[in-house]
Amino acid sequence: MSATKTNPGNFFEDFSLGQTLVHATPRTVTEGDSALYTALYGSRFAVQSSTAFARTLGLPAAPVDDLLAFHLVFGKTVPDISLNAIANLGYADGRFGVPVYPGDTLRSVSTVIGLKENSNRQTGVVTVRSVGTNQRDETVLAYTRWVMVRKRDPASPAPDPVVPDLPKAVATTDLTVPEGLHTTAYDTALAGSPHLWDDYAPGETIDHVDGMTIEEADHMLATRLYQNTAKVHFNQHTEKDGRFGRRIVYGGHVISLARALSFNGLANAFKLVAINGGQHVAPSFAGDTLYAWSEVLEKIELAGRADLGALRLRTVATKDHPCADFPDRGPDGKPHPAKVLDFDYTVLMPRR
């Protein structure tokens, strides 16, 4: 007689509506994490790169990149939510709270808010609300995502379908501006661009010009950095027999590459405050070269702030296709074949 002590991960029938999942392994963030994040993506936003620059804005130090915080919070959830996932389908209602600084310890808790078996009965969609907090129990990030997860037994009965109603965008009143932040001494020369909130217009599109090739070692190192254990990113021995015959790049790696590329054209978009929605349109693999373009969806005035505004942006990433033609959808409404990411988010930017 033997009993297993290993964790096979949750299958679709292991989830129940309202279930709370307390995720293991709190993570203390270090300056080394930030340095490695820069090495992986080449992000150049001045506030996250320089403590001296951050202090001119009233912050105590350079915060870690908002997406690094996102990945660390997300990574905690993988062993319980998406270890047996086929695909992470989308994001919504993501709200960044207090900034994360080196020395902060992050942990994550998720609640199941939606369940729906797919018609093939082989898989189902699980929707969760995940919350990341620091050592003071302050929320650093809360977001919703939905994941296609395998069933253990296709014949097992399906739960009553519940699909939550999610907002199309985070409300302006729910955007968090870090305490003490001001931009009266913001130095555009050091930040890398003269273009401020006033210079952008809804409907404007920006080709970010540069491209970056995904390396096998980079995407695997990044995913390990976030302690994301999803099998599809690591195990070539099993993935050679999977849908694509090779490891899939973690979708968050693509998001971070697109955000880093967006610096060329949006250098002063220094702080993410919301993830309104997002879709991984197609998988990415090592060897793909990513490009990106962005559209300004909305200009948002912040109550009581003459020095600071918000932009709602949509960034599209493509593989092996430069974005001078702003690839999006064809006449048939289907995504351009090179499109891999469609990401809707809100950033802070100084005003004149």
Res. 2: pLDDT tops 70: no
Q: Which residue has the tokens 């661009």?
A: 193
**Helix pair angle (66-81, 216-225), 10° resolution:** 80
Give the CATH number for residue 66: 3.10.129.10
**Cβ atoms 121, 158 nearer than 8 A:** yes
What pLDDT is attached to residue 85?
A: 85
Residue type present at position 180: G
Q: How many CB atoms lie within 10 A of CB 8?
A: 10
Distance CA 68, CA 139 (A): 15
In a domain, 335, yes or no: yes
Instruction: Report the residue count for the chain.
Output: 352
Q: How many CB atoms lie within 10 A of CB 265?
A: 20
Res. 12: pLDDT tops 70: yes
Mean pLDDT, range 20-48, rounded to an integer: 98
Of 52-56, 86-90, 227-231, which range is least confident?
Answer: 86-90
In a domain, 6, yes or no: no
In a domain, 307, yes or no: yes
Nearest CA to 349 among 140, 205, 200, 162? Answer: 200
231: tokens are 């099998």
Res. 111: pLDDT tops 60: yes
In a domain, 1, yes or no: no
Please write the tens of the pLDDT for every residue from 244-285.
Answer: 999 999 999 999 999 999 999 999 999 999 999 999 999 999
83: tokens are 């270890």
**How wide is the angle at C-alpha 180 spanned by C-alphas 177 and 185, nearest 5°?**
100
Res. 112: pLDDT tops 90: yes
pTM of this prediction?
0.96
In a domain, 160, yes or no: no
- From residue 88, alpha-carbon distances to 41, 250, 257, 315 in Å are 22, 9, 18, 18
Res. 88: pLDDT tops 90: no
Averaged pLDDT of the chain:
96
Distance CA 10, CA 161 (A): 18
Give the residue numbers spanning the domain of 113: 12-155+165-350
In a domain, 3, yes or no: no
User: In sequence order, what are the residues at sequence separation of 6 or more whose Cβ sits closer than 8 angstroms to the Cβ of residue 334?
Assistant: none
In a domain, 60, yes or no: yes
Number of domains in the chain: 1
Distance CA 99, CA 48 (A): 11
345: tokens are 């988010």
Please write the tens of the pLDDT for every residue from 207-255.
Answer: 999 999 999 999 999 999 999 998 889 999 999 998 899 999 999 999 9
In a domain, 273, yes or no: yes
Distance CA 65, CA 39 (A): 13
Nearest CA to 112 among 82, 141, 139? Answer: 82
Please write the tens of the pLDDT for every residue from 180-202.
Answer: 999 999 999 999 999 999 999 99
Mean pLDDT, range 43-61, rounded to an integer: 98
DSSP string, 233-273: GT-HHHHTTSSSSSPPPPHHHHHHHHHHHTHHHHTT--EEE
Nearest CA to 66 among 132, 128, 22, 147? Answer: 132
Nearest CA to 37 among 286, 288, 225, 251? Answer: 225
Res. 151: pLDDT tops 60: yes
